[in-house]
Amino acid sequence: MRTIDTNVLVYHLIGQGGELSQRSSDLFRRLKSDAETAYVPVTAIFECIYACQMSYRVPNDALAPLLLEIMDFPGIVIEHRAALVDALELWHIQGPLSFADCFHLTLTKELGMTQIYTFDRKMNRFPGVERLEP
């Protein structure tokens, strides 16, 4: 198994990198068909979101479904898959929350915790996790 870096994700999603985008998309086709297996670090998802939003101005309602589709490929291995899927779904509908905030909330729930220390009042919107101020 090999690891996928952020730039491969971005080239695949954006499709504006000529040969690099083509090679990235070829890899993701193999991952989708389970012809190959690759590990995607959680940090690569975070960096990909940042790069797509800051450099290419891709809105979260367009980006979240694309990442959800990739995470469903049989050849993709990723830690905290359930929390990432839940975070992407929450981020897709909760505009004011950053993806990092969404992931913190869903990971808290995945790990069996019910409370999160934060001063961010927007985090009150997630059922099952209570926001506490220290």
Q: Where are the alpha helices (DSSP H) in the chain?
A: 6-14, 19-32, 42-54, 60-71, 81-93, 99-110
**pLDDT per residue as tens digits for the range 77-120:** 999 999 999 999 999 887 678 999 999 999 999 999 999 999 99
Residue 17 has pLDDT above 80, yes or no: no
Going by the DSSP 8-state scheme, the letter that residue 116 receives in this structure is: E
Domain range list for the chain = 1-79, 81-134
Helix (H, G, I), strand (E, B) or coil at 131: strand
Whole-number Å distance between alpha carbons of 91 and 103: 9
Output the average pLDDT for the chain. Answer: 94
Q: CB 77: neighbour CB atoms within 10 A?
A: 15
Closest CA to 26 of 11, 5, 42: 11
Specify the pTM.
0.89
Token couple for 94? 């909760």
**pLDDT per residue as tens digits for the range 70-84:** 999 999 999 999 999
